[in-house]
């Protein structure tokens, strides 16, 4: 069994707005093993990006880790140590974002941006960095790379730019790649190509992937395991097949029902009624109770624990309280 590359231990992240503190992530515990592909899914505002930014040590200024911690490759990551995070970012963990245009420097040729990553983190010479960068550009499926190397971001299509971002993220052979909605801005065909590329990169380089998406369909293409988040909590965590075939949490079931599928053609898509509560509106009890078709009085008043419902299946729901064991 591969060892844990990343471990989040009972992490809480809270925003301070004025004199008030609002927890945005609570009791976040999960592991990513070496080479594993893990998805995080949930609607807008559930805390997916905040989770990934925590792992990169890039929380917004108004947010802080108020409990728990992060262990990366066996080392505890001190939240308040920019040097510690700076040393691992790009080298051990890299990230690609939804909008590559905002992450790339518009004034620098794209090839050079990849080469600079190599020079910064691998201490290689300029010609060697250029050689590695063009090699990486070929690996991520770009063609005519000699010419492309000197192109500026605005000369590239969205799909090509996302490939450049992936090349930049992978040039230093990180152990973990975090991809936050990497295909949301792309059309469906290009989206499928980028997802194939992520899967292929995971196979060929062994880089573990943490893929964030609000779309279970995207996650199913790439990931072995899925973590479902709701209102700042992990509500379910299981192998992708189990989640798709036997979802346990009513929220996961709702997400699945709202996936488009051949059998639903011609019918309007299902949407879960209601919406994710804003930070200031989070109450005691189960955070999903107000939208849950199975909610009881207990759910309104008592927050469920994350239970181990089966060997590789965790769920945070009172429906499973008798068959599960708190973790």
Which residues are at the interface with ligand ATP (CB under 6 A)?
15, 24, 42, 44-50, 60, 62, 214, 278-279
Q: CA-to-CA distance for 230 and 324, rounded, in angstroms?
A: 20
Tokens of 320: 């499973």
In the complex with Mg ion, the residue whose CB is nearer, 49 or 134, is 49
In the complex with Mg ion, the residue whose CB is nearer, 180 or 242, is 180
Closest separation between CB of residue 40 and ligand ATP, Å?
A: 8
Closest separation between CB of residue 311 and Mg ion, Å?
A: 30
Closest separation between CB of residue 212 and ligand ATP, Å?
A: 7
Binding site for Mg ion (CB under 5 A): 49
In the complex with Mg ion, the residue whose CB is nearer, 137 or 195, is 195
Task: Count CA atoms closer than 13 A to 169's CA, side-chain side.
Answer: 30
In the complex with ligand ATP, the residue whose CB is nearer, 49 or 183, is 49
Q: C-alpha angle 37/39/41, rounded to 5°?
A: 175
Closest separation between CB of residue 284 and ligand ATP, Å?
A: 17
Look at the alpha carbons of 284, 287, 293, 298 in this order and tell me if their dihedral is positive or negative.
negative
Phi and psi, residue 51, nearest 5°: -65, -45
- 168-195 burial, b at 16+ Cβ within 10 Å, e below that, comes to bbbbbebbbbbbbbbbebbeeebbeebb
Measured at CB, which residue is nearest to Mg ion?
49
In the complex with ligand ATP, the residue whose CB is nearer, 240 or 279, is 279
Largest CA distance in the chain: 67
From the list ligand ATP, Mg ion, none, partner contacted by residue 269 (C-beta under 5 to 8 A by kind): none
Closest separation between CB of residue 75 and Mg ion, Å?
A: 26
């Amino acid at each position: 069994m591969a060892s844990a590359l990343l471990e989040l231990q009972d992490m809480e992240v809270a925003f301070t707005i004025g004199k008030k503190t609002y927890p945005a992530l609570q009791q976040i515990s999960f592991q990513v093993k070496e080479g594993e592909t893990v998805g995080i899914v949930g609607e807008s505002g559930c805390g997916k990006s905040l989770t990934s930014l925590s792992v990169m040590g890039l929380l917004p200024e108004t947010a802080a880790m108020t409990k728990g911690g992060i262990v990366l490759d066996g080392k505890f990551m001190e939240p308040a140590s920019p040097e510690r995070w700076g040393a691992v970012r790009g080298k051990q963990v890299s990230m690609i974002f939804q909008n590559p245009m905002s992450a790339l420097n518009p004034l620098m040729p794209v090839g050079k941006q990849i080469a600079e990553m190599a020079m910064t983190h691998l201490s290689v010479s300029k010609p060697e960095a250029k050689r590695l960068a063009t090699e990486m550009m070929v690996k991520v499926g770009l063609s005519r790379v000699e010419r492309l190397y000197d192109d500026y971001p605005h000369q590239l299509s969205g799909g090509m730019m996302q490939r450049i971002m992936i090349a930049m993220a992978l040039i230093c052979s990180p152990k973990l790649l975090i991809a936050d909605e990497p295909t949301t801005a792309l059309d469906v065909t290009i989206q499928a190509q980028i997802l194939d590329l992520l899967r292929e990169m995971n196979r060929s380089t062994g880089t573990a992937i943490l893929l964030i998406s609000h779309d279970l369909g995207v996650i199913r293409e790439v990931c072995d395991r899925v973590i479902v988040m709701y209102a700042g909590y992990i509500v379910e965590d299981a192998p992708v097949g189990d989640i798709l075939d036997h979802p346990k949490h009513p929220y996961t079931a709702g997400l699945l029902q709202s996936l488009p599928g051949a059998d639903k053609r011609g019918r309007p898509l299902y949407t879960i009624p209601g919406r994710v509560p804003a930070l200031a509106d989070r109450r005691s009890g189960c955070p999903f109770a107000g939208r849950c078709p199975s909610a009881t009085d207990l759910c309104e008043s008592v927050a469920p624990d994350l239970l181990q419902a089966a060997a590789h299946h965790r769920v945070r729901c009172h429906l499973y309280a008798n068959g599960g064991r708190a973790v």
